[in-house]
Amino acid sequence: MGKPGKYILTPESGAEAGARASGTGTVQPVQPAATRAERWSVQRLLDVIGQPSVTLVLWDGSEFPPQRATSVADIIIRDRRALRRLLVNPEYEFGEMYSSGRIEVVGGLSDCLEAIYRALRTDKNKGRLRERLAKRLAKRPRNSAARAQENIHHHYDIGNDFYRLWLDEQMVYTCAYFATPDASLEQAQTAKLDYVCRKLQLKPGERVVEAGCGWGALALYMARHYGVSVKAYNISKEQVAFARERAKREGLDDRVEFIQDDWRNIEGVFDVFASVGMLEHVGEAYYGALGSRMDQVLSTAGRGLIHTIGRDSPGPLNAWIERRIFPGACPPSLSELLPMLEQNGFSVLDIENLRLHYAKTLEHWSQRYEAHVTQIEELFDETFVRVWRLYLAGSLAAFTSGTLQLFQVLFSRSGNNDVQWTRDYLYQESN
């Protein structure tokens, strides 16, 4: 890759490819060669993002940098207006332009994004980006119950049929646990459910509350395999309907209750609090309220587990992902997450970072997604296909590069001595 002139980007072929990718069918006008100012700007852009090992190719076939030895992918910018938008706000507009087909990536999309994520983290970039991040951090969304309802509806209510095409058979939409890297997605999701139950040391008859239950897989697993009763909260209407139906079908509806409501309204007394993949949507402004709610509903020997996407240091989610995919989402660093426990009388027992397991999970999802891309295009349209392709590839890149983490935080009431002596018990049987 990276040899000059390798793409024949005549106006005709450019227009054809652009039309196919954007799905509009219109023919783009003939574009003249890039100007000196445009060429300078592209070089500057590469400099600013830390010279990732990718090649930028403009509509006239010119490549930047001209002779990169180790490029993992070519990013083709199909027209000058796309370049202009990219230069103004690269973090956000890359996603917009890719979605509409005005930017194309040749080579692995997630490899390309991983190279960029890694370059963004170099020392040179740290200072420069810190200020921008601080500004965006200050503007992080505040997810009231009403706002949370909109946010969750946006992502999770787009149709169970869509998710069924590329999730595992139990519809688990969170990081799996691969006992070995070659485990199947089905094995790894079941292993994750069981790993969470074992970390929590569930005992028959105990009362569990789950905050954010997806399509219900964990709640049902807990009830079936560990004999507990579960109240599972979720504000996604489609997910709750699916979960209730499954509980009924499997004869677990006497022990598992799915409640379509916000975590702010959790009521009752429970032995165990579990939340897998919800904290991402809560927002730091409400961590105190969540911790206080856990304190209110957990028994004196209560314990809990929070499984969440996180970060190595405070920072916002990618702007495009936050706008187009997960409105209101913000993965916390541990120092942002833990005051929720510290200020409410809890003690951290165990924190595990499963970052590479999420990368592996996303590899599986991406493969399944691509295998059903024709069906997905029929359900939606080509822009939707590209949006979700970029989201999955970008997430894979974020976990592979260490831009995102996956934390499992196990905790109990402070001073509770009824805890496991060592962590051996987690590894006695293979998953």
- Closest CB to its own copies among residues 157, 352: 352
Half-sphere exposure of 302 (CA within 13 A, CB side): 25
- Closest CB to its own copies among residues 299, 313: 313
Contact between 417 and its own copies by CB under 8 A: the answer reads: yes
Task: State in angstroms the smallest separation of the CB of 137 from its own copies.
Answer: 13
Task: State in angstroms the smallest separation of the CB of 309 from its own copies.
Answer: 14
Task: State in angstroms the smallest separation of the CB of 396 from its own copies.
Answer: 13
Contact between 313 and its own copies by CB under 8 A: the answer reads: yes
Contact between 355 and its own copies by CB under 8 A: the answer reads: yes
Omega of the bond leading into 65 within 30 degrees of 0 (cis) = yes
Q: What is the DSSP string of 416-428?
A: ---S-SSSGGGGS
Contact between 292 and its own copies by CB under 8 A: the answer reads: no
Contact between 23 and its own copies by CB under 8 A: the answer reads: no
CB burial readout 261-275, b (16+ within 10 A) else e = ebbeebeeebbbbbb
Range 107-166, binding its own copies (CB under 8 A): 118, 121, 126
Range 333-352, binding its own copies (CB under 8 A): 333-335, 338-339, 341-343, 345-352
How many residues make contact with its own copies (CB under 8 A)? Answer: 47
Write each residue from 207 to 236 as x if it is in contact with its own copies (CB under 8 A), else as -, in one continuous string. Answer: ------------------------------
- Measured distance CA(309)–CA(364) in Å, rounded: 18
Write each residue from 51 to 90 as x if it is in contact with its own copies (CB under 8 A), else as -, in one continuous string. Answer: ----------------------------------------
Residue 407 CB neighbour total at 10 angstroms? 22
400 contacts: CB under 8 Å, gap ≥ 6:
110, 114, 356, 359
- Closest CB to its own copies among residues 4, 181: 181
Stretch that binds its own copies, among 28-36, 66-74, 232-240, 409-417 (CB under 8 A): 409-417
- Closest CB to its own copies among residues 86, 409: 409
Answer for which of 28, 71, 236, 400 binds its own copies (CB under 8 A) is: 400
Q: What is the DSSP string of 287-330?
A: HHHHHHHHHHHEEEEEEEEEEEEEBSS--PPPHHIIIII-TT--
The two counts, helices (H) then strands (E), for the chain are 18, 11
- Measured distance CA(64)–CA(53) in Å, rounded: 11
Give the Å distances, CA to CA, from 72 to 54, 229, 293, 358: 6, 50, 47, 22
Contact between 422 and its own copies by CB under 8 A: the answer reads: yes
Task: State in angstroms the smallest separation of the CB of 199 from its own copies.
Answer: 11
Strand partners, 348: 411
Task: State in angstroms the smallest separation of the CB of 427 from its own copies.
Answer: 4
Task: State in angstroms the smallest separation of the CB of 276 from its own copies.
Answer: 18
Contact between 363 and its own copies by CB under 8 A: the answer reads: no
Contact between 45 and its own copies by CB under 8 A: the answer reads: no
Stretch that binds its own copies, among 13-21, 164-172, 215-223, 327-335 (CB under 8 A): 327-335
Task: State in angstroms the smallest separation of the CB of 136 from its own copies.
Answer: 17
Contact between 395 and its own copies by CB under 8 A: the answer reads: no
Write each residue from 178 to 197 as x if it is in contact with its own copies (CB under 8 A), else as -, in one continuous string. Answer: xxxx----------------
Six-digit token string for 113 = 């994004």
Task: State in angstroms the smallest separation of the CB of 338 from its own copies.
Answer: 4
- Closest CB to its own copies among residues 19, 297: 297
- Measured distance CA(415)–CA(428) in Å, rounded: 26
Six-digit token string for 112 = 């390309």
- Measured distance CA(293)–CA(356) in Å, rounded: 31
Question: Phi, psi at residue 71, to the nearest 5°?
Answer: -75, 130
Half-sphere exposure of 240 (CA within 13 A, CB side): 18
DSSP run (H or E) holding 63: strand 63-64
- Measured distance CA(124)–CA(127) in Å, rounded: 7
Six-digit token string for 372 = 């059903």
Answer for which of 314, 379, 380, 384 binds its own copies (CB under 8 A) is: 314
List interacting residues with its own copies (CB under 8 A). Answer: 118, 121, 126, 177-181, 312-314, 333-335, 338-339, 341-343, 345-353, 355-356, 400-403, 405, 407, 414-417, 419, 421-424, 426-427
